[in-house]
Structure formats: C-alpha cells, structure tokens
C-alpha cells in the first residue's frame, strides 16, 4: 500500500496515466489524486479527455501507460466487472433502464447483481423480494420513494437520472463516478440533482464530469481541469476558476 506524505491513502490515484488512439494521446500523463470522502470535479473544454479518463477509471479502456490505484490497491488493466467489484460505480447511463420494470424491480436487480446473483430478472423474480427493504431505502434516499411501483418508462428525464443514481448506489460504491449528472436538465432538475448529490455524498467519494460551472462551484471540494488530455490546473474551485490558464482555455473554446 502506498501512503502519501499527509499519511492518508487517497481513494483514487493515477500516475502517468495515458491512452493513445492511433498515436493521438487523448489522455496524457495524468497524475490525479482524489482524497477519500471528497467530491472532485473533472472539467475541461470539449475533447479534453474527460470521458476517456472515466473509461480508463472504470476499466472500459486499458491505459497505454501509467497506473491506477484504488484506495492504495493497483487496479491498472483490470476488467470493468473486477473494478466494479472493488467498489467503483458509474452513473448515469439511462440506456440501461428497462421500460416495463418498476423502480423497485430495477433496484432489487442491482442489489442482486451486487451480491453476485446475476441481473436476470426472469430467472429470479421471487428471490428478488429479499431485497425489498433495501431497495425501498435506496429509492427513498434519491427521492423516488413515492414512485417505487411505477414502471421506469413513466418517469420524467430528471427522475430517470435519479433512478440511475440509486442503481449505482445499490453497488455500495467506495468511489462513485458521475458522468455529466445534470446534462440536458432544466434549472429545477439541476437544483434537485445538486441537492441529491449533496445528500448521497456522505461517506462516499465522488468524481464527476460536469460542464455546468455553477454545479461544480456548489458541489465540489476540488477541481481538475483537463486540456488536450493533460492536467492544466488543479485545486479548489475558487482558485481554479480564476487561474488565467483556465480562463484562456475556456475562452479559446468559446471563440472556436
Ligand atoms: N475511440 C476513440 N478513437 C479515436 N479517438 C478518440 C476515441 N475516443 C476519444 N477520442 C478522441 O480523444 C479526445 C478526447 O475525447 P473525450 O471524449 O475523452 O473528451 P471529453 O473531454 O470527454 O469531451 P466532451 O466534453 O466533448 O465529452 C477527442 O479528441 C476524441 O476525438
């Protein structure tokens, strides 16, 4: 186990992390450190490498170079399911919802998957009931308690994303990765989502990719700014947003 000078092992640490696509470095020599119990944002102009970095952290892509440690354990090159088993969950991917299943059934399936029981509904509908209480608790946590018996298809967009969050939380993640949690939302849903993330962050470590700077400012302890696959700046939001290099990077994007 690697321990840093402050004595605390970061929940996530990458060193020299890189990913090339045909000689093009989408992620280039990234040293990222995320302290346990914090909310950390990844921001940067389009094409900066944020999604590629997320895909590396979840094992959906293998790095060309560098390493990834989770709570001091080397997870570099592990397959996505192995990384998930070690407590990394990623939300929101609405495409993974099933229209006809109720919210409760979705969460019960996720809980069964966490316990290694597979995620096939048709084989196990009766066994799923053992998770009823835990599922109810998770739905209440994300504010969907009143909708538990409705099919997922009946939910509005913002609520679908809350359900995705409940599914990620069902895995009891140590590290929760949120991929643009407020993308495509109106002002009210954004505010609700910020509140929700605030609530679920207790005892968890959260890394989010976010374009909405108000959300970043409201939610995060630290921000890493990526540009051209590299870390351009890193620090508390108020420091980073006044960094001339960051301002130039975003102005450049606005002009383009
Ligand atoms: N599979 C791939 N093959 C080739 N190039 C890729 C691939 N995936 C990403 N890239 C390139 O890597 C760079 C970083 O892309 P990435 O999607 O990680 O950026 P991003 O910061 O998430 O951007 P956005 O904010 O637009 O989602 C881009 O130039 C992109 O075209």
User: Would you say 33 and 225 are in contact if contact means Cβ atoms under 8 Å apart?
Assistant: no
Q: Give the C-alpha separation, 63 to 59, whole Å.
A: 9
| Both tokens assigned to 170 | 């069902």
pLDDT value of position 129: 82
Let me know: does 75 contact 251? Beta carbons within 8 Å.
Answer: no
DSSP string, 117-160: S-S-STTTTTGGGGGHHHHHHHHHHTT-GGGTTSBGGGS-HHHH
- Measured from CB, residues less than 6 Å from any atom of ligand 1 are 21, 26, 44, 46-52
CA 188 / ligand 1 centre spacing (Å): 30
ipTM reported for the complex, 2 dp: 0.96
pLDDT of residue 119: 61
Q: Residue 155 C-alpha to ligand 1 middle, in angstroms? A: 31
List, for the chain, all residue ranges whose pLDDT scores fall below the cut of 70: 1-7, 92-95, 117-125, 251-256
Report pLDDT for 158. Answer: 87
Question: According to the model, what pLDDT value does residue 150 have?
Answer: 96
* pTM (two decimals): 0.88
Q: Identify the CA nearest to 11 among candidates 30, 46, 39.
A: 39
Q: Which helix (H) or strand (E) holds 224?
A: strand 222-227
User: Which amino acid residue places its CA nearest to atom 8 of ligand 1?
Assistant: 52
Residue pair 155/99 in contact by the 8 Å Cβ criterion: no
d(CA 190, CA 183) in angstroms, rounded, equals 8
What is the 229 CA–ligand 1 centroid distance (Å)? 9
Name the E strands within 22-92: 24-30, 33-34, 39-43, 65-70, 73-74, 88-91
pLDDT per residue over 178-220, tens digit each?
A: 999 888 888 888 998 898 899 888 889 999 999 899 999 999 9
Domain with CATH 3.40.50.300 in the chain: 1-87+173-256
β-pair type (39-43, 222-227): parallel
* CA-wise closest residue to 222 among 234, 231, 208: 234
- Cα–Cα distances in Å, from 29 out to 128, 132, 227? 44, 45, 12
Find out whether 211 and 181 touch, Cβ atoms under 8 Å: no
Mutation pick for ligand 1 pocket among 50, 54, 177, 210 (CB with most ligand atoms within 8 Å): 50
Atom of ligand 1 nearest to the CA of 211: 25
CA of 27 to the centre of ligand 1 (A): 9
The pLDDT value recorded for residue 120 is 61
Domain 1-87+173-256 indexed as CATH 3.40.50.300 = yes
CA of 35 to the centre of ligand 1 (A): 26
26, 90, 207, 211, best to mutate for ligand 1 pocket (most atoms within 8 Å of CB): 26
- Give me ligand 1 centre to Cα 194, in Å: 26
What would you measure as the largest C-alpha separation in the chain, in angstroms? 59
Give the integer Cα–Cα distance in Å for 222 and 41. 6
φ, ψ of residue 59 to 5 degrees: the values are 85, 5
Q: Which residues contact 241 (CB under 8 A, 6 or more apart)?
A: 213, 217, 223, 247
């Amino acid at each position: 186990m690697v321990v840093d000078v402050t004595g605390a092992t970061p929940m996530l640490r990458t060193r020299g992390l890189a990913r090339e696509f045909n000689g093009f470095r989408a992620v280039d020599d990234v040293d990222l450190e995320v302290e346990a119990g914090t909310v950390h944002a990844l921001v940067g102009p389009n094409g900066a490498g944020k999604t590629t970095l997320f895909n590396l952290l979840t094992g959906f892509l293998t790095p060309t170079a560098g390493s990834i440690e989770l709570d001091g354990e080397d997870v570099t090159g592990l397959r996505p399911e192995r990384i998930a088993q070690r407590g990394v969950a990623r939300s929101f991917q609405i495409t993974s919802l099933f229209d006809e299943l109720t919210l409760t059934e979705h969460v019960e399936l996720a809980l069964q998957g966490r316990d290694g029981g597979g995620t096939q509904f048709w084989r196990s509908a009766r066994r799923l009931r053992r998770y009823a209480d835990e599922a109810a608790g998770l739905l209440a946590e994300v504010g969907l308690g009143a909708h538990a018996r409705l099919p997922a298809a009946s939910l509005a967009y913002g609520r679908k994303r809350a359900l995705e969050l409940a599914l990620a939380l069902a895995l009891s993640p140590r590290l929760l990765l949120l991929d643009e949690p407020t993308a495509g939302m109106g002002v009210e849903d954004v505010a609700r989502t910020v509140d929700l993330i605030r609530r679920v962050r207790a005892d968890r470590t959260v890394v989010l990719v976010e374009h909405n700077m108000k959300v970043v400012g409201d939610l995060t302890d630290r921000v890493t700014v990526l540009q051209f696959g590299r870390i351009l700046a890193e620090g508390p939001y108020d420091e980073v947003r006044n960094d001339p290099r960051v301002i130039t990077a975003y102005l450049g994007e606005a002009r383009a």
